């Protein structure tokens, strides 16, 4: 499917204009720069509102600056959000002071992310450990 460069540029410009392409973004390996925030995945059980379902409470939650991503999910919880903070206390304060007090929020479960292996289809290569086991000899 070879297309001339000008035609591809036109398609990209149109996709940017109509919102098909939302954003270009770099994936940064923060530990290599000596800077690493704390990330947490928070599951939220909420009471949906009549006429708008989960959309209104989801919009209220994703507008907090700590919220990096927000999803409606199936299962035990209704929403899952990815948040970041400078430390665990900052995330804990976000949950206690901003998220939990919202009227529709019934409960939350916070999972702190300990290590990032892959993000947006990009892996973060780790040095391979050498095999420390001795070979079996007969």
What pLDDT, in 10s, does the model give residues 86-95?
999 999 999 9
CA distance 50 to 42: 24
Whether the pLDDT of residue 81 is over 90: the answer is yes
- The residue ranges of every structural domain in the chain are 32-115
Backbone CA torsion sign across 95, 99, 100, 106: negative
- In tens, the pLDDT along 19-42 reads 888 888 777 777 777 777 899 999
Residue 87 confidence (pLDDT)? 92
Which is higher by pLDDT, 6 or 136?
A: 6
CATH-assigned architecture of domain 32-115: 2-Layer Sandwich (3.30)
Whether the pLDDT of residue 85 is over 70: the answer is yes
CA distance 4 to 14: 16
pLDDT-based confidence at 135, cuts 50/70/90?
A: low
Extract the tokens encoding 138: 């007969």
User: 13-18 — which CB contacts under 8 Å span 24+ positions?
Assistant: none
């Amino acid at each position: 499917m070879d297309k001339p460069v000008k035609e591809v540029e036109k398609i990209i410009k149109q996709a940017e204009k109509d919102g098909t392409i939302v954003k270009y973004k770099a994936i940064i390996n923060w530990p290599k720069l000596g800077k690493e925030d704390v990330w947490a995945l928070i599951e939220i059980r909420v009471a949906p509102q009549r006429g708008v379902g989960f959309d209104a409470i989801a919009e209220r939650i994703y507008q907090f600056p700590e919220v990096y991503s927000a999803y409606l999910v199936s299962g035990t919880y209704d929403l899952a959000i990815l948040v970041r903070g400078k430390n665990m206390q900052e995330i804990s304060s976000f949950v206690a002071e901003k998220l939990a007090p919202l009227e529709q929020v019934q409960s939350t479960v916070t999972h702190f992310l300990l290590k990032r292996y892959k993000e947006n289809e990009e892996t973060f290569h780790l040095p391979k450990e050498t095999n420390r086991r001795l070979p079996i000899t007969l």
